[in-house]
């Protein structure tokens, strides 16, 4: 039986969809980002995910652009107290990226850009095997004790490393990771299913997977090579999926025809139906997309439909 971890984890408070902020300041400019955030908030959305590295991959950017846009929007709208904000450190996957001094400095920079004095959820964006787990755990715990962080999460971790990190933190009386954010969707399942899902179920760790729409492939907009050429994201994951996984779109099309739901809604509803999942993370580049994504939380797939996507 699927457990609703979002209802049990105090860091989430019943949230069933997280808005991804990776597009803010990148494929969504400031005005568009503000409109997206307005629509999400007005529709009842209450959690936004970002990172200090967003969007350093864009020429001329250095990272922090997403946090800056989000911070400006919260300041303009007065919405900070009503939201749960998640951000991350060590997205560059550097040796020593989770050293205590790096964590402290990165958090201060993120808080400045976000125009807030705390974040609800702070992630280790990438693991750091070069820094002792006890040092990492102590550094994160210090930020929790200082009131600058409410809860801790790990992203792009294996089950073994997450379990080891939690064990060290708990043994030392430090705040453990209670959230995991790995890639998980209809096409990429190995980072959640198996050992990680078991850990979520036994330890009460809540999974907030990213790439719920497989970088846009599961929206159905990438079906030909010409479709890939039309998008700045087309030559990445969508190209890989087009070559290997086109058939899944056909099965989703059949479910869409019988339910009236869209493909993005079906993709996210499938994730929500899986064990160990609290809420998927999905980004949008228009108000219409936000409203569409939010409809996924109201869609319940039948056992037959879920089996068709297994």
pLDDT for residue 257: 98
Q: Is 222 considered catalytic here?
A: no
Residue 305 lies in a domain: no
**How far is residue 59's CA from residue 45's CA, in Å, rounded to a whole number?**
31
pLDDT for the residue 5: 52
Angstrom distance (rounded) from CA 279 to CA 12: 9
Q: What is the pLDDT of residues 147-177, one digit of tens each?
A: 999 999 999 999 999 999 999 999 999 999 9
Q: In the structure, what pLDDT confidence band is assigned to residue 244 with cuts at 50, 70 and 90?
A: confident
- Domain contains 306: no
Lowest-pLDDT choice from 69-78, 166-175, 228-237: 228-237
Q: How many helices (H) and strands (E) does the chain have?
A: 13, 8
User: For residue 73, what is the domain's CATH number?
Assistant: 3.20.20.100
In a domain, 244, yes or no: no
- At 52 the pLDDT is 98
Q: How confident is the model at residue 227 (pLDDT cuts 50, 70, 90)?
A: confident
Give the DSSP letter string of 3-17.
--HHHH-TTTTT---
32-72 pLDDT, tens per residue?
A: 999 999 999 999 999 999 999 999 999 999 999 999 999 99
User: How far is Cα of residue 168 from the mean position of the Cα atoms in its chain?
Assistant: 25
Query: What residues contact residue 271 under an 8 Å CB cut-off, 6+ apart?
Result: 184, 185, 209, 212, 277, 280
Number of domains in the chain: 1
Domain that holds residue 131: 5-214+264-300
Residue labelled with tokens 């479709």: 227
206 belongs to a structural domain:
yes
Provide the pLDDT confidence category of residue 2 given band limits of 50, 70 and 90: very low
Q: Which of 54, 122, 184, 211 is catalytic?
A: 54
Give the pLDDT of residue 153: 98
- Residue 10: which residues within 8 A CB-CB, separation 6 or more? 151
Per DSSP, helices labelled H in 43-99 are: 65-77
Which tokens belong to 241?
A: 């999926």
Q: What percent of the chain has pLDDT over 70?
A: 96
Cβ density class 80-110: b for 16+ within 10 Å, e for less: beebbbbbbbbbeeeeebbbeebbbebbeeb
Tell whether 182 is covered by a domain: yes
Mean pLDDT across the chain: 94
Sheet containing 149-155, strands listed edge to edge, beginning at the edge strand earlier in sequence = 206-207, 177-181, 149-155, 119-124, 84-89, 47-49, 18-20, 281-282
Asked whether residue 15 is domain-assigned, the answer is yes
> Is 221 within a domain?
no
């Amino acid at each position: 039986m699927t457990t609703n971890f979002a209802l049990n984890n105090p860091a989430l408070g019943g949230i069933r969809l997280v808005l991804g902020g990776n597009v803010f300041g990148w494929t969504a400019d400031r005005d568009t980002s503000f409109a997206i955030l307005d629509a999400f908030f007005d529709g009842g959305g209450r959690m936004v995910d970002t990172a200090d590295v967003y969007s350093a991959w864009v020429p001329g950017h250095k990272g922090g652009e997403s946090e800056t846009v989000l911070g400006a929007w919260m300041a303009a709208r007065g919405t900070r107290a009503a939201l749960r904000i998640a951000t991350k450190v060590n997205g560059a996957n550097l040796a020593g990226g989770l050293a205590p001094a790096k964590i402290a400095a990165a958090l201060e920079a993120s808080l400045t850009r976000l125009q807030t004095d705390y974040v609800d959820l702070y992630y280790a964006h990438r693991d750091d095997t070069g820094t002792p787990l006890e040092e990492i755990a102590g550094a994160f715990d210090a930020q929790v004790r200082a009131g600058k962080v409410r809860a801790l999460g790990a992203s792009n971790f294996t089950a073994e490393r997450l379990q080891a990190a939690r064990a060290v933190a708990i043994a030392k009386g430090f705040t453990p990771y209670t959230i995991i954010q790995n890639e998980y969707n209809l096409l990429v399942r190995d980072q959640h299913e198996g050992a990680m899902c078991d850990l979520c179920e036994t330890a009460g760790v809540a999974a907030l997977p990213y790439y719920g729409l497989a970088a846009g492939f599961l929206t159905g907009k990438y079906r030909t090579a010409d479709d890939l050429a039309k998008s700045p994201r087309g030559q990445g994951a969508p190209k890989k999926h087009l070559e290997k996984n086109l058939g899944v779109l056909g099965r989703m099309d059949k479910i869409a025809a019988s339910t009236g739901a869209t493909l993005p809604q079906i993709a996210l509803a499938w994730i929500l139906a899986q064990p160990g999942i609290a809420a998927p993370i999905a980004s949008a580049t228009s108000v219409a997309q936000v409203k569409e994504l939010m409809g996924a939380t109201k869609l319940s797939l039948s056992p037959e439909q879920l089996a068709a996507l297994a």
